[in-house]
Chain A
Amino acid sequence: MRDRRPLYLMTPALGWLTAFMVVPCLLILGLAFFRRGLYGGIEYTLTWENIRLVFDPLYAGIFLKSAWIAGLSALIAVVLGYAAAYAIAAMPRRHQPLLLFFAVLPFWSNYLVRTYAWIVLLNREGLIVHLARLLGFEGELPSMLYTETAVVVGLVYNYLPFVILACYAPLSRLNPEVSEASRDLGAGGWTTFRRVVLPMTVPGIATGFTFVFVLSIGNFVTPALLGGGQFQMIGNLVYAQFLTANDWPFGAALSIFLIAIMMGLLTLQTFASEKASGGRNA
């Protein structure tokens, strides 16, 4: 008789995920094909209208804009995070836990509080401006808050620790002898990094990039607070459909595409990691 214990152990988690993840997602999927009542609510007549509306240039444009902001944030976070992870991994082993602790320290405070902190720093009467004045700077600094740049800064800041952790894992597992061998065989420092270290840490980079991208593209808090409500990301649009426009079916249609983009990326990332680690084991 087969051992059924794994099945029993898995059941609570599977049940939880089914009840609170799979079923709600299916409900959202179903909702996308109904009509909205005149005053909100749902009319149970089938329609493709909501799906068609997602491809309307206005809303498709908001999708593209969100993807651009998420992609840019992910790229910057990967460059900064990889460098930080590389530096940490190069430190003496006994210092590394402390440095990693500092890297994830911001996670101990609330996301909203961390985002508001940027408002305190960047606003026209904020700390940075006051500091500049204290140092003798006169005149008007360019607006820093309520811009696209502020949103990207906020996203990079909030998700950077993910990248550091994701890149640190493969970097710390690298066998130093591999790099030594590369140098013994005549490769310079840059070539060793580019052709030996970097390829072996691609899974970490892919994981970090995907995390930041997926978390950013659906984010609605940062654009609302640091963007001053002046541009919409897809998360804000979904939020508005459910909470202000009371157009749940259209909100559901937008959500499905957002979930599809996220799942697609996560799948790609899984394949990329499998391939990279498979290649190394061969």
Chain B
Amino acid sequence: MFRTPLTGLALIAALTSAASADDLVISNWDGYMAPDAIDAFNTDTDNTAELVLHGTNEEIMGKLIASKGAGYDVVFVSSPFAEVLNKLGIAETLDHAKLPNIANLYPAANELKHDPGNAFSVPYAWGTTGLCYRADLIDETPDSWWDLLTPPDDLKDKVTMLATDRWLLAAAQLANGYSVNTTDEAELAKVKEDLISAKQTLLAYDDTTFYAKLVSGEADLVQAWDGWCNYGIAENADIKYVIPAEGSDLWVDTMVIIKGSEHKDAAYAFVNWMLDAEHHRWAAENILYKVPNKAAMEGLDPSLIATFPNMGITPEDLLGYEQLLDVGEAQRAYSRIVSEIKAAD
């Protein structure tokens, strides 16, 4: 998932930053933790950690796979990619005794399908994917994924969808009542057909500026991650977020320690430091993402949840949605379908 509209800059920064071998190297999306987090961690624990940035999951995965994890100690990736790191033997099997703050997590955060019991990953943020819309410009409140795929005439060319493979397909998978991890050929064919016909009413595929399009009025209805919809809500109170009746996926971004890390104690110390209620709360308060940290969320200012209702979605409700899981060999079929959709007229 992209974290900021500055993905390109982050990419350049990531390509040009060379961390020295003596430091604990943490790779994260730009702006996904407090700007002073690394300095605060270094001061608190007497370490010398260094932050490098990645723009996308795929970018950091390319590097980790090429180097077998060498050069990195802790990485932030979305859950299907954490699974892959585990399958490839790059992810450390976590010793929970070294992570006392893991007790701060909700019980539900120990039952995530990609990694039950958090054996190789620790959830950092979680949320849903749904519809973000301008209540003042839309006549009927959207409540179905079909409102996005086959919008009424007045929404023609005022709708955007996410461009990233898995979420683009998820819109039609959920609409049809399929699993968001389906590998069934007939189901995928139907998904492709629905998404190609949805192109007729689409303004654009957009992963990074969809909320700005809502604010400007360029778009009235967009497929959005809940946290990103909040950026729109912050600028215009007429922007609302809804999870369609057919449901959502549950996305989870995680912290993974690299098995070959030469600074393992420091790596554990960092993950543990991040799980501290106050440190973890920063993400909820500043980037408006839900964090799976009970202690952190309980300290949240209630007015924040009043302004951004999706911040109040409960862990139990979240766990009711299907997580995106690694689909293995079928990822090629997914990529090809996306190419076919984008090449279609």
Contacts A243-B62, A246-B58 given; does A146 touch B203 at CB 8 Å = yes
Judge if B45 is at the interface, Cβ distance under 8 Å: no
Judge if B59 is at the interface, Cβ distance under 8 Å: yes
Assess whether B343 is in contact with A146, with CB atoms less than 8 Å apart: no
Q: Which residues of B contact A236 (CB under 8 A)?
A: 342
Q: Which residues of B contact A243 (CB under 8 A)?
A: 56, 58-59, 62
Q: Which residues of A contact B340 (CB under 8 A)?
A: 58
Mark out the residues of chain B between 144 and 179 whose CB falls within 8 Å of any chain A CB in the assembled complex: 157-158, 160, 163-165
Which residue in chain A gives the minimum CB-CB distance to B88? A39
Mark out the residues of chain B between 183 and 204 whose CB falls within 8 Å of any chain A CB in the assembled complex: 199, 202-204
Q: Which residues of A contact B216 (CB under 8 A)?
A: 123, 125
Which residue in chain B gives the minimum CB-CB distance to A227? B204
Q: Which residues of B contact A58 (CB under 8 A)?
A: 336, 339-340, 343
Q: Which residues of B contact A114 (CB under 8 A)?
A: none
Assess whether B204 is in contact with A229, with CB atoms less than 8 Å apart: yes
Judge if A170 is at the interface, Cβ distance under 8 Å: no
Size bracket, chain B contacts: 35 or more
CB < 8 Å neighbour of A143 from B157, B217, B345: B157
Mark out the residues of chain B between 40 and 92 whose CB falls within 8 Å of any chain A CB in the assembled complex: 56, 58-59, 61-62, 65-66, 84, 87-88
- Complex CA–CA separation, A162 to B214 (angstroms): 37
Assess whether B58 is in contact with A244, with CB atoms less than 8 Å apart: yes
* Minimum CB–CB distance for B57 against chain A, Å: 9
- Complex CA–CA separation, A240 to B335 (angstroms): 9
Assess whether A232 is in contact with B339, with CB atoms less than 8 Å apart: yes
Q: Which residues of B contact A112 (CB under 8 A)?
A: 8
Contacts A39-B87, A40-B62 given; does A245 touch B205 at CB 8 Å = no
Judge if B139 is at the interface, Cβ distance under 8 Å: no
- Complex CA–CA separation, A206 to B206 (angstroms): 37
Judge if B299 is at the interface, Cβ distance under 8 Å: no
- Complex CA–CA separation, A146 to B205 (angstroms): 9
Residues 46-72 of chain A, each 1 if its beta carbon lies under 8 Å from chain B, else 0 = 000000000000110110010000000
Residues 228-241 of chain A, each 1 if its beta carbon lies under 8 Å from chain B, else 0 = 11111000110010
Mark out the residues of chain B between 84 and 133 whose CB falls within 8 Å of any chain A CB in the assembled complex: 84, 87-88
Q: Pick from A39, A62, A229, A246 the residue with the most CB of B within 10 Å.
A: A39
Judge if B218 is at the interface, Cβ distance under 8 Å: yes
Judge if B35 is at the interface, Cβ distance under 8 Å: no
- Complex CA–CA separation, A233 to B17 (angstroms): 31
Judge if B22 is at the interface, Cβ distance under 8 Å: no
CB < 8 Å neighbour of B218 from A40, A41, A125: A125
Judge if A38 is at the interface, Cβ distance under 8 Å: yes
Mark out the residues of chain A between 134 and 175 whose CB falls within 8 Å of any chain B CB in the assembled complex: 143, 146
Assess whether A146 is in contact with B204, with CB atoms less than 8 Å apart: yes
Judge if A106 is at the interface, Cβ distance under 8 Å: no
Task: Pull 10 A–B residue pairs with CB atoms less than 8 Å apart, ordered by A.
Answer: A37-B65, A125-B218, A230-B204, A231-B342, A231-B345, A232-B339, A243-B58, A245-B58, A245-B335, A247-B332
Q: What are the 4 tightest A-B residue pairs by CB atom distance, in nearest-first order?
A: A228-B204, A229-B205, A245-B335, A41-B65
A: residues with CB less than 8 A from B are 37-41, 58-59, 61-62, 65, 112, 123-125, 143, 146, 228-232, 236-237, 240, 242-247
